[in-house]
Every structure is written in C-alpha cells, then in structure tokens.
C-alpha cells in the first residue's frame, strides 16, 4: 500500500481510504425493507471482516459520519476498531442539518466518540457544506467549536466535506485554518462543484484533499451504457471500469487519498490491487484520451445541458437547482431510478426540492445555457418525488 502525508497533519495515510457509507447489508434487506430500515441493517459480520482485511492490507484511513446507515455506521466501525485504535486514522463528520444551537456541536461529537469507542478523533469534519449550511453553522459558532475540540483533544485535526459551487468552496477554504477538505471528483465531475479548480486551490494552500465519489457511487462500474462500453473495448490497454476511474483520480498529484465506499470483499480486493500500482502522472496520453472519450460519451446522454456553474444560485426560495439537475442527468446516464429517488426524497433537505419553486424566473434570466429551468424542475419532481420512502 502507498502512503501520503495528509495536508499539514503528521499523519501518513494510505492512498485508499475505507468509506463507511456503503457497508454490506443483511441478505434480503434490499427487497424486504424500506430505505431507512435497509440502511440500518448492516451485516456486521461481513463489515467487520472487510475492515479487518483492509487493515491487514495496509489501509489505515476510515471515514464515517453521524447519519451513515441511520447512525449504525459509527457503531460498527467502533466495534471493528477494538484493540487496533492506535493503528488507524479515524475520521467522522458533524451533521449541519441537525445543528440548531451551539451546544448541539458538543452533544453530537460526544455521542460519536461513544459510538466509536474512542476518546479522540484523528479528523473531524463539518459534513456536506454548501452555501446555506456554511453560513448557518458559522453563525452558530462552528469555527469556535473546531478550535475548542482541537484544544481539548477530542479531535487532532479538522476539515469539511463539500457540495456546492467552487466560489463558495474558495470562501470556506479562506475562512479557517483547515487541515483537510473532502470533495467529489471523478472523470465526469472534473468541473462540477469544487472540481479541478477547487482541488488545485486547496492543494496550493497546503490543505490535504480527500476525494469522495471517485466512481460516482459505483455507477461508473455498473450498468455501463453500450456507447461507453464500446470505447472501453477499443482501448489498447484493457482495464476494469474501476481501474480506469480510480487511476484517473490518483493520476492527479494534488489528491491526498481516495475514499471508496466498498460493500463487498471483491470490491475491496480490486481497489487494493489498483491502489498498489496507482501513482501521480502514471497514465499515458493514450489512456487519458480514452478517459476523455468515455466522459464525452456519458455527457451525450445528459438530459439537461447544465454545467453546474451555479449562476442561477442562490434561489430566493432555496431550490438547489444544480443538484436537482445533476440527479436528473444521473437518471438518464445510469438508469438508476431508485438511487436518484433516494437522493431526492431522503437525502436532499426539503427546502431544496423542486416543489419549492415559485416560478419567479430569476434563475432563467441568469442561466448562460438558456435552460428552461422552471419547466425542467417540474419534470424532475414528477419523475423523482415519492411521498414516502
């Protein structure tokens, strides 16, 4: 396993991190339970077996968050960390949506420490920051809280994960002495959210960059459209889709480590194999060209020509237009309606949904792509909304 220094910390971390958002679930849970019940039904025996194998193969960075698996992810990770706490680097996250007072920050981190069976965290992140959650948590004293937990030893280092446009990302980067940041990055999302610009900006500030969604939650490896598969088949060097995607991310020298949410032992073993030979600038020009062709093929499947520039934001009614269009495009690229509905109905805050649009037209006046935003928001809501899930 390869290791890199993570930002300004004193931690040498494996370039492959174990993301604990997609732990294996019990057999039969997929069809027998609702989404919320299914998320809590972790197959603890398989999960702990995978984590044990990961540690033995040199993976030392484990990432969770307060809401993962309905709160069970941290509990299972804590069980797996028994008798090996000093050998691993633990990271988890504070949930801005659940923070309403300054005291909530302390209450939640103390609960997380108990779940994980430890008295300190190596890294503690503000989870999924976007424009509204950033301003909300900052007003509630988030930065003073981060100072406090580093002083009292509950966290060695702090950072944030991010889902918004690069202008807000730069603002957050410049607002505090962060050690790490966590961004979505893959060969389709090269210029989405923080993107390449944010990756380079954070790195230039000495901040460690952790990559999430390197394979778009596995969608770059499953149900591959025939237009894409045809390009992979013509490549001179044959690789699995996972190998293409992960090597592309690791090809960037600014990347500190890549998180993968692995659900099976087979996925874990494949990712470890790929990590052993991945390195910055290791991809040939021909391989990079193949990746560009595949990305273009995916983009031709897009339903909405939204670049994620976020000129339409902020919406006066809090509708998250770029994220909604991203989910809509995901459906047409990957045909995974269940996942898109889960993201829209369960994970997206109610105030950000398309149904809050009041048709003021302000967004359409600003859109450089001249998208019929109001009409398209209605289409998305009709496709993705489910009253109960």
Q: 102 and 186 in one domain?
A: yes
Other Cβ atoms less than 10 A from the Cβ of 376: the count is: 18
Q: 140 and 83 in one domain?
A: yes
Residue 326 within any structural domain of the chain: yes
Q: 277 and 329 in one domain?
A: no
Residues spanned by the domain of 112: 3-284
Q: What gap in Å lies between CA 324 and CA 341, rounded to an integer?
A: 11
Residue 158 within any structural domain of the chain: yes
Q: 226 and 327 in one domain?
A: no
Total residues belonging to the chain: 389
Predicted confidence band at 349 (pLDDT cuts at 50, 70, 90)?
A: confident
Percent of the chain scored above 90 by pLDDT? 73
Inform me whether the pLDDT recorded for 387 exceeds 90.
Answer: no
Percent of the chain scored above 70 by pLDDT? 97
Question: With contact defined as beta carbons under 8 Å apart, do 350 and 308 qualify?
Answer: no
pLDDT of residue 13: 97
Residue 305 within any structural domain of the chain: no
Inform me whether the pLDDT recorded for 389 exceeds 70.
Answer: no
Q: Which letter does DSSP use for residue 188 in this model?
A: S
Dump pLDDT digits (tens) for 257-273. Answer: 999 999 999 999 999 99
pLDDT of residue 37: 74
Inform me whether the pLDDT recorded for 35 exceeds 70.
Answer: no
Residue 341 within any structural domain of the chain: yes
CA distances from 383 to 99, 342, 376, 378 (A): 31, 12, 11, 9
Q: 329 and 272 in one domain?
A: no
Q: Which H or E element spans position 125?
A: strand 121-129
pLDDT of residue 301: 86
The pTM of this model reads 0.84
Cis peptide upstream of residue 132 (ω within 30 degrees of 0): no
Q: What gap in Å lies between CA 389 and CA 1, rounded to an integer?
A: 40
Q: 379 and 248 in one domain?
A: no
Q: 239 and 114 in one domain?
A: yes
CA distances from 36 to 40, 92, 223 (A): 7, 20, 24
Q: What gap in Å lies between CA 171 and CA 174, rounded to an integer?
A: 5
220: burial class by Cβ within 10 Å (0-12, 13-18, 19+)? buried
pLDDT of residue 251: 97
Dump pLDDT digits (tens) for 10-28. Answer: 999 999 999 999 999 888 7
Q: Name the average pLDDT for the chain.
A: 92
Mean of pLDDT values over 92-97: 94
Q: 266 and 153 in one domain?
A: yes
Residue 185 within any structural domain of the chain: yes
Closest CA to 248 of 192, 189, 172: 189
Residue 302 within any structural domain of the chain: no
Residue 279 within any structural domain of the chain: yes
Largest Cα separation within the chain, whole Å, is 59
CA distances from 145 to 102, 106, 122, 347 (A): 8, 8, 16, 25
Structure tokens at 26: 């019990």
pLDDT of residue 369: 77
What is the number of structural domains in the chain? 2
Inform me whether the pLDDT recorded for 188 exceeds 70.
Answer: yes
pLDDT of residue 32: 54
User: Are β-strands 3-5 and 12-14 bridged in parallel, bridged antiparallel, or unpaired?
Assistant: antiparallel
pLDDT of residue 310: 76
Place of tokens 């909405």: 304
pLDDT of residue 30: 60
Residue 292 within any structural domain of the chain: no
Dump pLDDT digits (tens) for 193-205. Answer: 899 999 999 999 9
Q: 125 and 21 in one domain?
A: yes
Domain of residue 216, CATH code: 3.20.20.100
Q: 170 and 86 in one domain?
A: yes
């Amino acid at each position: 396993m390869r290791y890199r220094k993570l930002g300004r910390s004193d931690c040498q971390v494996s370039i492959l991190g174990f993301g604990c958002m997609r732990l294996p679930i019990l057999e039969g849970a997929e069809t027998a339970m609702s989404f919320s019940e299914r998320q809590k039904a972790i197959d603890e025996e398989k999960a702990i077996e995978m984590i044990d194998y990961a540690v033995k193969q040199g993976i030392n960075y484990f990432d969770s968050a307060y809401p993962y698996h309905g709160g069970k992810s941290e509990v299972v990770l804590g069980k797996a960390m028994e008798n090996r706490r000093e050998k691993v680097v633990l990271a988890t996250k504070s949930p801005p949506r659940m923070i309403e007072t300054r005291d909530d920050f302390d209450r939640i981190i103390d609960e997380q420490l108990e779940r994980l069976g430890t008295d300190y965290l190596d890294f503690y992140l503000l989870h999924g920051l976007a424009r509204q959650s950033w301003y909300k948590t900052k007003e509630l004293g988030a930065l003073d809280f981060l100072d406090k937990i580093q002083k009292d030893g509950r966290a060695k280092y702090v950072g944030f994960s991010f889902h918004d446009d690069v202008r807000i990302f730069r603002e957050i980067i410049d607002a505090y002495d962060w050690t790490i940041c966590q961004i979505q990055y893959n060969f389709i999302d090269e210029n989405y959210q923080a993107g390449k610009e944010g990756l380079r900006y954070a790195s230039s500030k000495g901040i460690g960059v952790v990559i999430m969604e390197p394979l778009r939650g596995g969608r770059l490896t499953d149900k591959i459209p025939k237009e894409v598969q045809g390009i992979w088949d013509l490549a001179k060097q044959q690789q699995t889709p996972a190998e293409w995607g992960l090597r592309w991310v690791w090809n960037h020298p600014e990347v500190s480590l890549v998180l993968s949410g692995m659900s099976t032992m087979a996925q874990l073993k494949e990712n470890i194999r790929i990590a052993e030979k991945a390195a910055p600038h290791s991809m040939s020009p021909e391989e990079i060209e193949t990746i560009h062709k595949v990305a273009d093929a995916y983009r031709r499947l897009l339903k909405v020509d939204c670049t994620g520039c976020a000129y339409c934001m902020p919406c006066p009614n809090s509708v998250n237009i770029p994220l909604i269009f991203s989910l809509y495009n995901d459906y047409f690229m990957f045909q995974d309606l269940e996942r898109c509905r889960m993201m829209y109905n369960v994970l997206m805050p109610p105030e950000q949904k398309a149904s809050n649009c009041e048709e003021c037209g302000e967004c359409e006046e600003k859109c450089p792509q001249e998208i019929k935003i109001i009409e398209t928001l209605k289409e998305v809501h009709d496709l993705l909304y489910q009253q109960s899930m």
